[in-house]
């Protein structure tokens, strides 16, 4: 357990109970969705990359906190961006033919 156990941590443990790292699945859905949002914003708003980069920092902090709080193993958090990146590449390759047709 982390050395500092604040009120928020105690409240969270009350809600979570005995569930946690032993019942979790790989990859972390929290980390995957946070990185998916960051990748999505980078694609949707290429002219405003600071929003996407800000979300990327947030997603990294989510990954770190899931490991630090012992909700996931490190591999769960590392696999999260991998899943988000794979989905982004699949959707990008599926959408690109439609985009090039619309511009011509």
Q: How many CA atoms within 13 Å lie on the side-chain side of 103?
A: 6
Indicate whether 19 belongs to any domain.
no
Assigned domain for 6 exists: no
Helices assigned H by DSSP within the chain:
7-16, 29-44, 49-68, 74-103
8 lies in some domain? no
Residues across the chain:
104
* Farthest CA pair distance, the chain: 60
DSSP character string of 51-79: HHHHHHHHHHHHHHHHHHTTSS-HHHHHH
Report if residue 18 sits inside a domain.
no
Residue 17 lies in a domain: no
Per-residue confidence in pLDDT tens, the chain, 104 aa: 557 777 777 776 776 665 655 555 778 889 999 999 999 999 889 999 999 999 999 999 999 998 888 778 888 899 999 999 999 888 877 776 666 555 54
Q: Which domain holds residue 92?
A: 26-103
Task: Give tens-digit pLDDT for 81-103.
Answer: 999 999 988 887 777 666 655 55
Overall number of domains in the chain: 1
pTM, full prediction: 0.68
Instruction: Classify residue 56: in a domain, yes or no.
Output: yes
């Amino acid at each position: 357990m982390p050395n500092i156990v604040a009120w928020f941590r105690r409240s969270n443990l009350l809600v979570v109970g005995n569930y946690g790292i032993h019942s979790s699945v790989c990859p972390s859905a929290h980390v995957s969705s946070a990185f998916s949002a960051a990748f999505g914003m980078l694609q949707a708003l290429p002219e405003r990359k600071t929003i996407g980069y800000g979300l990327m920092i947030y997603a990294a902090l989510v990954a770190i906190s899931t490991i630090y709080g012992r909700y996931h193993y490190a591999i769960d958090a590392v696999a999260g961006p991998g899943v988000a990146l794979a989905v982004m590449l699949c959707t990008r390759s599926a959408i690109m033919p439609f985009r090039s047709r619309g511009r011509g």
